[in-house]
Structure 1
């Protein structure tokens, strides 16, 4: 067991964030599968509703991150954690009703509320860690948070899709999201007693402080540089994760089991990379290896693209339709390894950046810095979707766009060179 688990507040907070990420994706994927296979009437309607759902979940991060950052610095984070987790219980009660009624409007409204709850929890997630862990343990705490988040996303995605499809699946999923939210709320009482807080030096405003928050973030050059590096990772990851189903169906002509396989590889790769870099750095934080990690990420992605290009079926005939058939071939194993390595190097890339952002931001401003991080992350994830739609619109193949992404990833090395000066 890693030393960070000796701290009771960390154990409780780790459980809260894992349950929250799991529950978000349990509900979100149950919603997507329900819309795709039961509620939508055409391919066009399905595509529109699924895209709308993705946008509604991200939108609150753009709308509420400035306010969430101010609140995270204005109040004791333990008190906020309890209130936000209590709100999640209420949102999931509405989510259970929406699943049972199978109302598209109510499902999407609940998803927006879930995104809102996550947007307010986001600044607390990484601002609270330095308050409950010694600085030398921060990189291990961040590694566990980053790796476990992707595992939670994977488990929620798989179980949400499988659980909602049986005849009584909506009742099962409705009960599940309420139970998980309630467990998170109970765990929130184990993060410690609420303490007096000095408060926030400025008036809390919904939008008015956005400009000052960015100006304040820019004053902490190293921390803001880390934010830019983190945001690029989420741009890169959003492209990869969003296109796995398309890549599997049309590039490999394989079934949904292979989609789950690649999602699993991505999540486990991120988790192992996060753990590996934390053990290697032994509490020290530096970015000297990040240019190499970017090159290795791009090399792994280009290798995967090359393998897919060489083995793309012609005329619709493709033997590797099931997971067992796919993994029985040398090609399938090689493609799996290249994809897993890309995720592994990505996990090693992201953990030191989160740690640097925390260490180089004053404690009284961490919530706002993380709010800036969430804003830029969300904006770049939306940009990734827009650029993908533009690419498809002008006739670029998905493999061509992935090659462009790999080249752009190497060019980000320039950012790290600038940050080192």
Structure 2
């Protein structure tokens, strides 16, 4: 597993058919929507009619998300996921057949009916699109799987817009027939791909569906707010859609008005943003070391703001040239700066959204995930509509330029990020710990898959440095409650990180018996709640690199609650940053090795009922070997 990368998923049946299916769906949706616009130009519809349909189409497509997302979440919870995907792709064939008839008849009202039906089909597919991933992927594959899905969606949307916009230009008089045949063919391909998806059972087959959308929408929105981190991850994803909508609505005018380009240049700048998002999504697995690393979220948020600010200053006025193609634009002064800004915004948007999806999937109970995704889709649609209306109001009534809108978006994005990270300091805490660990060490992980996906377990590990807890938290995909010596817990700056991570301070019986008893009670309560708890049974940092005898505290924990025990070992930490390299000093010194290669090794769970301090010490010693 240590050599695994996300691209290996594309060779596995548990992921590839679903990935291909969702790519065909996103591609076909955008081919269809752009082909409607192409038909209007092909028919030489007057500008007023084109404006009317251009305004109606997005509203008609998104309306089903408001109306039916809660119902879709329930259906995705109740039905087998592979079956539901096949049902939705079969629906798509019939809907696209209706759309093809409308293209051939040049019946614009019928096209809008088909567009509404497409929105209904997309609404049904939405919850299962993300709830299927934790059902078929290991938790350590969630970030990579979501990265692939986001990359595939971004590329499919871009290619779909290009293909749909070119149908009538390339096909000439046969445009309506070609458009109809194309959307049907793509729907059939998506359905064929869906039939290769292996069986994925229902999360809650006994669920009784409430068909009344209004009370159920309120229920699923409340469900998404149960956990603070999940609630704000949902808010973060919706904000991502807000930012994306601002770009999608402004780039068509930004290219000619501010960049001096033609319609081809609009496609180019849209491609830059989409490619940046795809690349950022793909990089998340590498940067997170295959954990659900929400520390990337602040990095993504503030990176987006930085490039948005620079995009405003790079071109705050109107263009001095007009009708430029891509080569002509690239020859203009300052064009490369704009290119970097657009790619950078997309890149950090990928860093922002992929860990949020992975967090929602990993922290939400599997029997609630589809309904939480339904709530997410309701909120997303609200943010999309809000973004469209705000941009329309700012440009039409307030007279703002597009660069001014981008500047306002940069300011708003910064404020929203600060607000979210203030409410849920875990995001910022994980960012600081991620930055520290990735700056100071190079990690190699082995056997981490032995950590259970859910349920209580006790982790025991050797104790080498003041950074051990941060290194382990960066290596284990689930949140961990660390039991640590209270003097380490109270280290300035680090103390805020430990408190935010809900670490449990402990003292010796002679130092503070009340604090020690409180620590044992907190450990037992955490294990009773199904959480992971990590203890360092040596009781103190090693003074010479060897593992000290394990103390009996671990046995007291297991006597009260005999949960499975995961032996883990830190290797090559001795002599690295923050370790006690010299027992004569009894304190930290300047490290001998910066960016040390550190290995984290885990073994199979041990039955807590029969585990002793001595047997666990032996297991950890064997894992560590001679690499202190």
Please classify the TM superposition score into its range, dividing by the shorter chain length: over 0.9
- Runs (5+) with no aligned partner, structure 1: none
- What is the distance in 2 between the residues matched to 1:93 and 1:2? 34
- What is the distance in 2 between the residues matched to 1:394 and 1:377? 25
- What is the distance in 1 between the residues matched to 2:200 and 2:411? 48
3-state DSSP of counterpart to 2:14: helix
Greater fraction of residues in strand? 2
Residue 347, structure 1, aligned to residue 350, structure 2: yes
Determine if contact 1:265/1:340 at 8 Å carries over to the other structure: yes
1:79-117 Cα offsets, whole Å, 9 max, x none, are 111111100000111111111222110111111111110
1:174 paired residue number: 180
C-alpha displacement of 1:155: 0.4
Determine if contact 2:256/2:323 at 8 Å carries over to the other structure: no
C-alpha displacement of 1:320: 6.2
**1:319/1:187 CA distance change after superposition, 3 Å:** closer
2:86 paired residue number: 82
Q: How does 1:142-221 map to 2 (within 5 A)?
A: 142-165=146-169, 166-193=172-199, 195=201, 198-207=204-213, 208-221=215-228
Determine if contact 2:95/2:114 at 8 Å carries over to the other structure: yes
Which of 254, 260, 264 does residue 253 from structure 1 map onto? 260
Higher mean Cα deviation, 272-281 or 164-173?
164-173
Determine if contact 1:53/1:108 at 8 Å carries over to the other structure: yes
Runs (4+) of structure 1 moved beyond 3 Å?
A: 193-198, 200-203
C-alpha displacement of 1:417: 2.5
1:398 paired residue number: 402
**1:194/1:388 CA distance change after superposition, 3 Å:** closer
- What is the distance in 2 between the residues matched to 1:193 and 1:206? 30
**1:200/1:375 CA distance change after superposition, 3 Å:** farther
* Root-mean-square deviation over aligned CA pairs: 1.7
TM-score by length of 2: 0.64
- What is the distance in 1 between the residues matched to 2:239 and 2:60? 21
Determine if contact 1:73/1:200 at 8 Å carries over to the other structure: no
- What is the distance in 1 between the residues matched to 2:202 and 2:374? 23
Residue 227, structure 1, aligned to residue 234, structure 2: yes
Q: How does 1:112-123 map to 2 (within 5 A)?
A: 112-123=116-127
3-state DSSP of counterpart to 1:191: coil
**1:195/1:379 CA distance change after superposition, 3 Å:** closer
**1:124/1:197 CA distance change after superposition, 3 Å:** closer
**1:201/1:107 CA distance change after superposition, 3 Å:** closer
TM-score by length of 1: 0.95
- Runs (5+) with no aligned partner, structure 2: 1-5, 427-628
- What is the distance in 1 between the residues matched to 2:414 and 2:60? 31
Greater C-alpha Rg:
2
- What is the distance in 1 between the residues matched to 2:296 and 2:422? 11
**1:124/1:169 CA distance change after superposition, 3 Å:** same
Number of equivalent positions = 416
- What is the distance in 1 between the residues matched to 2:82 and 2:9? 18
Q: How does 1:228-307 map to 2 (within 5 A)?
A: 228-307=235-314
- What is the distance in 2 between the residues matched to 1:133 and 1:244? 36
1:59 paired residue number: 63
3-state DSSP of counterpart to 2:334: helix
1:376 paired residue number: 379
1:420 paired residue number: 425
Higher mean Cα deviation, 31-40 or 130-139?
31-40
**1:281/1:196 CA distance change after superposition, 3 Å:** closer
Residue 23, structure 1, aligned to residue 28, structure 2: yes
Greater fraction of residues in helix? 1
1:37-74 Cα offsets, whole Å, 9 max, x none, are 535212x3322210100111111111110100010101
1:259-313 Cα offsets, whole Å, 9 max, x none, are 0101111111111000112221122123224223222211212222222225x33
- What is the distance in 2 between the residues matched to 1:301 and 1:196? 42
2:113 paired residue number: 109
Determine if contact 1:99/1:107 at 8 Å carries over to the other structure: yes
1:357 paired residue number: 360
Determine if contact 1:320/1:326 at 8 Å carries over to the other structure: no
2:601 paired residue number: none
Determine if contact 1:9/1:191 at 8 Å carries over to the other structure: yes
